[in-house]
């Protein structure tokens, strides 16, 4: 990434370097004045000052208009390294099927540069990273959802609009949610990540109520489409630590991409995973599988933001499916879907006979 405002250390280049992937340090931070009335807002401000990161005040975390950068592409890159600290006003949670009942909002936006990421379209002109300081209010809202669904279990997904683990060193929000959910007999938390920075979560009391999932993929996909995330080996090492700390563990294979040599690619992935995970990790392990999809809007944005991307988005080769965002999405034709699903399912059970597959979509 080439961003020019920086005073702070930036993570090393992701694919070639074997150095550990660094923690995300924003290059510019905006604060809503009201955010500083919350202890978390104050704490983040102290951290920003200690890091020497430039900061500005803003009236609303939804209206950041004066980002540096000459062109739209430059502004997009800068936005991905800009943090906005605000108060979450909407405390009505969106649904989050098929992964959970509700999306629990602690952050919006991500520092990763995955070419296929759906946040490119869902966040539209606001790709900067927003974190919310009023976690207590979010937790109170979650409690009401749990009570409303009792005696059933209510599940919450914390990674619908962000990769919250990549921001945990700044916010501590996941730790708060995990600790809260540990005391809720009918509440469950889950989140997915492409980062390895699990240390702050390992010593927490979680009571097995939080499932941590790692997003994994064939080497071809990680190498070509997931810049600015942790390497596969780093994610797997973190998965081992999470399992050792007693958390329920899962993997999301997403997006599953049809590419030359995909059979070997996904076979290798599962074999490498089985070889790298500590023994006994297979018990209670879950897998989720999501095939690659795109909309017309996503295609044009991706072509603009990542013009050299090898991501295949040929509408002629895809099947149209009506999406809940009021747009057609393009998925693989049935025959390809079946081939991908069956092949990967077999490889999963070959290496992890005790695992459960939650869904393929
Ligand atoms: S890490 Fe996840 S949320 Fe972040 S850009 Fe990649 S796919 Fe999107």
For every residue of 154-217, which 3-state class applies, written as one string? EEEECCCCECHHHHHHHHCHHHHHHHHHHCCCCEEEEEEECCCCCHHHHCCCCCCCEEEEEEEC
Calculate the average pLDDT of the chain.
92
The percent of residues in the chain predicted with pLDDT above 90, rounded, is 84
336 has a pLDDT exceeding 70: yes
Report the separation in Å between the CA atom of 130 and the middle of ligand 1, taken as the mean of its atom positions.
14
Whose CA is closest to atom 1 on ligand 1? 112
Instruction: Report the pLDDT value the prediction gives residue 359, as an integer from 0 to 100.
Output: 96
Report the separation in Å between the CA atom of 116 and the middle of ligand 1, taken as the mean of its atom positions.
9
Whose CA is closest to atom 7 on ligand 1? 117
Give the β-pairing of 319-322 and 328-331: antiparallel
- Domain enclosing residue 275, as ranges: 28-360
Q: Tens digit of pLDDT for each residue in 172-186? A: 999 999 999 999 999
**Does residue 3 form part of some domain?**
no
User: The domain spanning residue 116 has which CATH number?
Assistant: 3.80.30.30
**Does residue 19 form part of some domain?**
no
Rounded (10°) CA dihedral 259, 262, 266, 272: -100
Report the separation in Å between the CA atom of 192 and the middle of ligand 1, taken as the mean of its atom positions.
10
Q: Tens digit of pLDDT for each residue in 55-104? A: 999 988 777 877 888 888 889 999 999 999 999 999 999 999 888 999 99
Cα separation, 288 vs 34, in Å, equals: 39
End-to-end CA distance of the chain: 32
Residues 6+ apart with CB under 8 A from 77: 1, 2, 3, 69
Q: Is the distance from CB of 213 to CB of 175 less than 8 angstroms?
A: no
Report the separation in Å between the CA atom of 96 and the middle of ligand 1, taken as the mean of its atom positions.
17
Counting from 1 in the atom list of ligand 1, the atom nearest the Cα of 226 is: 6
Instruction: Report the pLDDT value the prediction gives residue 11, as an integer from 0 to 100.
Output: 43
State which H helix or E strand residue 107 sits in. strand 107-108
* Counted domains in the chain: 1
Report the separation in Å between the CA atom of 34 and the middle of ligand 1, taken as the mean of its atom positions.
28
Counting from 1 in the atom list of ligand 1, the atom nearest the Cα of 162 is: 3
Q: Tens digit of pLDDT for each residue in 152-165? A: 999 999 999 999 99
Report the separation in Å between the CA atom of 4 and the middle of ligand 1, taken as the mean of its atom positions.
22
Ranges 100-109, 279-288, 344-353: which has the least confidence: 279-288
Cα separation, 274 vs 291, in Å, equals: 22
Tell me the helices (H) and strands (E) count for the chain, helix number first: 12, 15
Average pLDDT over residues 35-61: 95
Around ligand 1, the residues with Cβ closer than 6 Å are 110, 112, 114, 117, 119, 163, 194, 229
Pocket residue to mutate for ligand 1, from 163, 231, 255, 311, most atoms within 8 A of Cβ = 163
Instruction: Report the pLDDT value the prediction gives residue 17, as an integer from 0 to 100.
Output: 58
**Does residue 91 form part of some domain?**
yes
Whose CA is closest to atom 2 on ligand 1? 163
282, two tokens? 């297979």
């Amino acid at each position: 990434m080439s961003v020019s405002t920086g005073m702070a250390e930036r993570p090393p280049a992701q694919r070639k370097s074997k150095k550990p992937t660094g923690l995300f340090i924003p290059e510019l931070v905006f604060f809503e004045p009201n955010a500083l009335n919350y202890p978390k807002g104050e704490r983040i401000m102290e951290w920003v000052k200690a890091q020497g990161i430039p900061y500005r005040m803003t009236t609303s975390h939804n209206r950041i208009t004066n980002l540096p950068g000459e062109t739209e592409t430059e502004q997009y890159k800068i936005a991905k390294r800009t943090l906005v600290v605000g108060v979450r006003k909407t405390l009505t949670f969106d649904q989050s099927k098929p992964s959970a009942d509700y999306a629990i909002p602690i952050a919006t936006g991500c520092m990763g540069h995955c070419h296929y990421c759906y946040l490119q379209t869902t966040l539209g002109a606001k790709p900067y990273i927003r974190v919310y300081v009023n976690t207590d209010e979010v937790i109170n809202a979650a409690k009401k959802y749990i009570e409303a669904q009792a005696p059933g279990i209510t599940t919450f997904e914390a990674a619908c609009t962000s990769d919250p683990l990549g921001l945990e060193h700044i916010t501590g929000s996941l730790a708060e949610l995990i600790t809260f959910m540990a005391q809720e007999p009918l509440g469950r938390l889950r989140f997915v990540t492409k980062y390895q920075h699990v240390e702050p979560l390992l010593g927490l009391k979680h009571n097995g109520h939080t499932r941590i999932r790692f997003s994994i993929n064939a080497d071809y996909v990680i190498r070509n489409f997931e810049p600015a995330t942790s390497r596969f080996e780093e994610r797997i090492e973190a998965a081992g630590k999470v399992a050792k700390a007693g958390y329920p563990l899962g993997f999301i294979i997403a997006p599953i991409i049809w590419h030359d040599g995909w059979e070997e690619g996904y076979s290798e992935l599962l074999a490498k995973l089985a070889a790298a995970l500590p023994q006994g990790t297979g018990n209670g392990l879950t897998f989720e599988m999501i095939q690659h999809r795109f909309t017309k809007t996503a295609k044009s944005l991706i072509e603009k933001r990542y013009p050299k991307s090898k991501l295949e988005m040929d509408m002629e080769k895809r099947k149209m499916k009506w999406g809940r965002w009021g747009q057609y999405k393009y998925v693989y034709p049935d025959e390809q879907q079946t081939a991908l699903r069956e092949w990967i399912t077999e490889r999963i059970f070959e290496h992890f006979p005790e695992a459960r597959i939650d869904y393929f979509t």
